[in-house]
Amino acid sequence: PRGLATALRGNPRLFPRTDWLTRFVSAGASSGTSTSSSTSTSIEVTPEPPPHGIRLSKILASHVSNMVVSRREAERLIRTGNVTFAGKVMTIPHVYIDPTEITSGSLKVGNKAVLLNERTKGKDAQSAAAATEKTRIWLVHKLAGEVVTEKDPHGRPSMIDRLVRGGVGKTKNSKKQRVHLKPIGRLDMTTEGLILVTNDGEYAHQMEIPKNKLHRTYRVRVHGLLSPYKLDRIRRGLTIENTRYKGMIIKPESKGRGTNTWVKITCTEGKNRMIRNVLQHLGLTVTRLIRISYGDYFLDKTPLGMAVEIPPIPLKSQKRLGPLIKKKPKPKKESASAESEGEASPIQW
């Protein structure tokens, strides 16, 4: 390194802009002995203790009895300065607060005091986190013409709002209290059929993430000529406007009058308007789209517009997940020892 530093300083014409490299090499050469000695000694790093308490956004979303907000809505309220604790404005959603420190009127959203529910009141952070409400699942037959979101800025009919007005999500202890309803996945406004609603955001996240590859099956009424070429394109997958759609399983059911055909399509992705975009790209028009299954949950004979509470199925227990087309294992090659035990190979001169 010292020789390199000397060469750089002695040849300014060859290296006109290497002052920073000269200083770096010179510093490394001068402190070579000190660095070697420092690397030989081990430095003990004590890990930081885990934070004590519960995140403020989680308290507002899961541990409050007099208001119902989602985690995302709670984070928005905190960031906009609408939440105060002990007279101080809170602007960080992931700040940790011990539930035992929340007294009557100390935590407010706007001018409204927040009341902790019975599972959290007077308990420490560990006990309160363990006392979260058990996972509940509702199987809903969504109507065509309604959106899934709870609040729609355009004033369109909302499925979540209809379920809340119908009493879905009320707690057994108090009819005035209800849990926050979280839809698992999305269906566009004109699509109908099965959609799952839960009170457990973590369970909904695990059901939605692409790596779990839960199978989603739809009944689709298609207008147009469904040729073998188009069926093969759907099964192999295709790219539309830089968006890759993976291959899907498609099975024609029956042909109606003219060019209307009912098909069953199974996929593992939940991209926006995926089935409609793929079929439209192939010159086909979707006239009706009904989801009939999601993982191990099935629509069956659930009445139109109804919500039925059912026992949750753990993700590890579900069978309808993973790749749609499983690769066949390659045949094992016979070893040389096995060949030697059989017929003797001819002598090669």
Active site residues: 188
Amino acid at 290: I
Q: What is the helix (H) or strand (E) element at residue 193, kind and residue range?
A: strand 192-198
Q: Give CA–CA dist 38/249, Å, rounded.
A: 61
- Which residues does 227 contact at the CB level (< 8 Å), separation at least 6? none
Gap between the Cα atoms of 259 and 88, Å rounded: 66
CB 307 within 8 A of CB 197: yes
Helix, strand or coil for residue 178? strand
The residue ranges of DSSP E strands in 207-321, in sequence order, are 216-223, 238-240, 243-245, 249-255, 260-267, 285-294, 297-298, 307-310
Q: C-alpha 51: how far from its chain's center?
A: 25
Residues in a beta bridge with 66:
none
Half-sphere exposure of 27 (CA within 13 A, CB side): 6
| Cα–Cα distance for residue pair 280/223, rounded to 1 Å | 10
Closest CA to 261 of 269, 270, 251: 251
Cα 141 → chain centroid: 22
Q: Strands 192-198 and 137-142, how do they pair? A: antiparallel
Q: What DSSP letter does each residue of 56-106 carry, written as one string? A: HHHHHHHSBSS----HHHHHHHHHTT-EEETTEEE--TT-EE-GGG--TTT
Q: Three-state DSSP class for 261?
A: strand
Q: First-to-last CA distance in the chain? A: 60
